[in-house]
Homo-oligomer: A and B are copies of this chain.
Amino acid sequence: MKIALAQINPTVGDLRGNARRIVETARRARAQGADLVIFPELCVTGYPPLDLLENPSFIEAVQRTLDGIARAVPADTGLIVGAPVPNPDRVGKRLYNTALLFENGDLVDSVRKTLLPTYDVFDEYRYFEPARERHVVVWRGRRLGLHICEDMWNNEEYADYHLYEENPVDELAAMGIDLFVNISASPFSLGKHALRNGIVEEICREHGAPFVLVNQVGANTEVIFDGDSRVHAADGTRLLCAPSFEEALLLWDTEVETGPCPLRHDDAADLHDALTLGIWDYFHKTGAFDKVIVSLSGGIDSAVTCALAVDALGPERVRSVTMPSPYSSPGSVEDSLALAENLGIPCPVIPITPAVEAFQKMLEDSFRGTEPGTAEENIQARVRGVTLMALSNKFNYLVLSTGNKSEMSVGYATLYGDMSGGLAVLSDVYKTQVYELALHINERAGRAVIPTSTIMKPPSAELRPGQLDTDALPPYPVLDEILRLYIEERLDLDAIVDATGHAPEFVLRILRMVDRNEYKRRQAPPGLRVSSKAFGLGRRLPIVMRWDREEIRAIAHGAATPENAGS
């Protein structure tokens, strides 16, 4: 039997475009001899469709689209697609997340998802009822262990949040199967390849059955899917792997020996490819903009953002601008212009002094008798924001904001200033990783696209004379380690102190900065997710809250009770 793995890039809500892509891909697979063509989870709607799923008209249109797909697929070809299907019962969530097997225009069988991820960026129980029962899909004499994404992840070693009671993979194996088939919308994060590989190998070895995994590729708003579709033999060997971060059609002839295929291990390359895919898809799937624009400061964040944009869209679709102030170092404009020249894009210089001075004048009365401080620094950042947005509005540019995850974590950024934009490219990339990306970009280009002086200079916001990031923040390697333990590993004060050996007061200061800046992040543009815990959709914290860790430590250690509280 020849099985095609159709790693496609659907667009959320674009039922007709997605259907067209499915039908065309199925025909191409058939032309190559495929008997069965397998598409990703919810490929008809794109993932995540979010509250579109609550719109009855949308769900009705999905069912019509499924009918159309079934009719349009070549005769005698099996087709597995993922779509939301109404729950016929009076009780329960109104939909099932379903894998449907079509052949010759008919629905042959369907399988409902059992394990519904409802954590991090996932909200599946918001929409879907879990399946109550598992069953084997028998097709052309083969017993297929068909299941959906999370259904394979209920494993002590791999579960990030909690275990489920059911284990669909075990249940299916116990029923006797020839082959596991998993259709996924499994997002990328750094290291996810290895994780996915590990669990599939383990399942194959445990149950002695081969495994086909078909994953979505592409970015929908903040969530990036890497693809990484694959076939493993019954002993766990990887037989076929799709390329990551692009569409692919893999054909597996179950009768022909193949593999093993190598596993890619290159974090910098993954990061680069994930982010450029994220930029490409945001730009093309919205279809709302003519070009993108990046404000160049001479620093490394804006340089990397701009270089990624050019890698993603080509220089003809990227514009830049540099907006020096009297506090900009002389090198800043030079470095910005050098970068723009290296990338082959224009970079007008627009000094911000006229507007900054106008605001000083406007605020003279109100500010009289006060010392210059954050208010004045923010005016500079916001004047840049207004200028950039004016260019965006006038010429229909998408503004790519440039703040990294370290800055976004501790609030070292100006709301409505440098945080302005439609898409935050680096908001899930720590400063230390930005450096790795810069080196990778230059290595990939075979030349110093990003000027060496940009990479070497000490980070600075340049909002006052001689300002350095280290005036306000610890060195980035120290900061980033603490942030990663807090945000991705979800450790708290004591555990971070234990892990790093830093003083509790020092760690506490950083955690408080993170907590207190939730209000800024709530108003940040959506950011491309490349870690297991990004800001935005997958990390939901109250703005208004009073969690005082010192009080809580006192309670935990018995030093304080509600009795003596406040005394």
Q: Are A540 and B123 in contact (CB under 8 A)?
A: yes
Query: How many copies of this chain are found per oligomer?
Result: 2
In the bound complex, what is the Cα–Cα distance between A549 and B14 (angstroms)?
A: 10
A181 touches B (CB below 8 Å): no
Are A544's CB and B362's CB within 8 A?
Answer: no
Note all chain B residues with C-beta closer than 8 A to A394. Answer: 363, 366-367, 370, 373, 375
Is A352 positioned at the interface, with any CB of B under 8 Å from its CB? yes
Is A207 located at the chain interface by the 8 A CB criterion? no
Ranked 5 nearest A-B pairs via Cβ: A13-B547, A57-B492, A375-B393, A19-B562, A14-B546
**A20 to B546 CA separation, bound complex (whole angstroms):** 14
Would A71 and B17 count as touching, CB distance under 8 A?
Answer: no
Known: A16-B551, A19-B565. A541 touches B354 (CB 8 A): no
- The reply to whether B68 and A562 contact each other, CB–CB distance below 8 Å, is yes
Q: Contact check: which of B93, B370, B383, B562 meets A386 at CB < 8 Å?
A: B383
Does A474 reach chain B (CB closer than 8 Å)?
no
A164 and B524 contact, CB distance less than 8 A: no
List, sorted by A's number, 21 A–B pairs whose CB atoms are closer than 8 Å. A11-B544, A15-B551, A16-B565, A48-B542, A52-B545, A68-B561, A68-B562, A71-B561, A72-B562, A94-B162, A118-B126, A220-B545, A285-B545, A285-B546, A354-B361, A355-B355, A366-B394, A375-B393, A375-B394, A522-B525, A526-B543
Q: Is A51 close to B, CB under 8 A?
A: yes
Question: Which B residues touch A362, using CB under 8 A?
Answer: 350-352, 354-355, 387
Residue with the greatest number of chain B CB neighbours at <10 A, chosen from A16, A90, A91, A219 = A16
- Indicate if the CB atoms of A546 and B358 lie closer than 8 Å: no
Q: Return the chain B residue nearest A420 by Cβ.
A: B416
Kindly report which residue of chain B lies nearest to residue A55, judged by CB atoms: B492
Stretch in A335-343, A449-457, A552-560 touching the partner: A552-560
Residues 86-98 of A, flagged 1 when their CB comes within 8 A of B and 0 if not, give 0000111110000
- Check: A498 CB closer than 8 A to any chain B CB: no
Inter-chain contact B51/A540, CB cutoff 8 Å: yes
Chain A positions 268 through 301: 1 when the CB is less than 8 Å from some CB of chain B, otherwise 0:
0000000000000110011110000000000000
Indicate if A165 sits at the interface (CB-CB under 8 A).
yes
Residues of chain B lying within 8 A (CB to CB) of residue A495: 57
Max chain B CB contacts within 10 Å: which of A55, A68, A390, A542? A542
Given contacts A367-B394, A416-B385, A561-B68, contact A542 B12 (CB under 8 A): yes
Whether B358 and A354, one on each chain, are in contact in the complex, defined by CB atoms closer than 8 angstroms, is yes
Nearest CB in chain B to that of A546: its residue: B14
The answer to whether the Cβ of A482 comes within 8 Å of any Cβ in the partner chain is no
Q: Given contacts A11-B545, A17-B546, is CB(A563)–CB(B71) below 8 Å? A: yes
Q: A350-381 toward B: CB 8 Å interface, digit per residue (1/0)?
A: 11101101110111011100100111101100
Q: Which B residues are in CB contact (< 8 Å) with A467?
A: none
Q: Per a CB cutoff under 8 Å, which of B55, B490, B541 touches A50?
A: B541
The answer on a CB contact under 8 Å between B547 and A286 is no
Residues of B within 8 A of A355 (CB): 355, 358-359, 362
CA distance A422 to B516 in the complex (A): 13
Of the candidates B91, B161, B285, B378, which one forms a contact with A163 in the assembled complex, judged by CB atoms under 8 Å apart? B91
A92, B162: Cβ atoms under 8 Å? yes
5 new A-B pairs (CB below 8 Å) besides A72-B562, A118-B125, A378-B393? A16-B552, A16-B555, A61-B556, A359-B390, A382-B416
**Interface residue A255 (Cβ < 8 Å from any Cβ of B):** no
- A165, B89: Cα distance in complex, Å: 10
Chain B residues near A549 (CB-CB < 8 A): 57
- Bound CA–CA A540/B359 (angstroms): 37
Within 8 A of B (CB), among A112-148: 118-119, 123, 125-126
Q: In the bound complex, do residue A20 and residue B162 qualify as a contact, i.e. CB atoms below 8 Å apart?
A: no
Residue of chain B at shortest CB distance from A60? B556
Q: Which residues of B contact A327 (CB under 8 A)?
A: none
Cα distance A362–B359 when bound, in Å? 14
Neighbour of A22 across the interface among B51, B60, B358, B562, CB < 8 A: B562
In angstroms, Cα B362 to Cα A378, docked, is 19
Q: Produce 1/0 per residue, A415-459, CB < 8 A to B.
A: 110001010000000000000000000000000000000000000
A548 within 8 A of B: yes
A330 to chain B, nearest CB (A): 21
In the complex, which residue of chain B has the Cβ closest to the Cβ of A495? Answer: B57
- A residues 498-531 near B (Cβ < 8 Å) are 516, 519, 522-526
Residues in B with CB closer than 8 Å to A94 are 161-162
Q: Is the CB of A379 within 8 A of B390?
A: yes
Q: Could you tell me if A543 and B357 are in contact, using CB atoms closer than 8 angstroms?
A: no
State the Cβ distance, A23 to closest chain B Cβ, in Å.
5
Which residues between 390 and 419 of chain A lie within 8 Å of chain B, taking CB atoms? 390-391, 393-394, 415-416
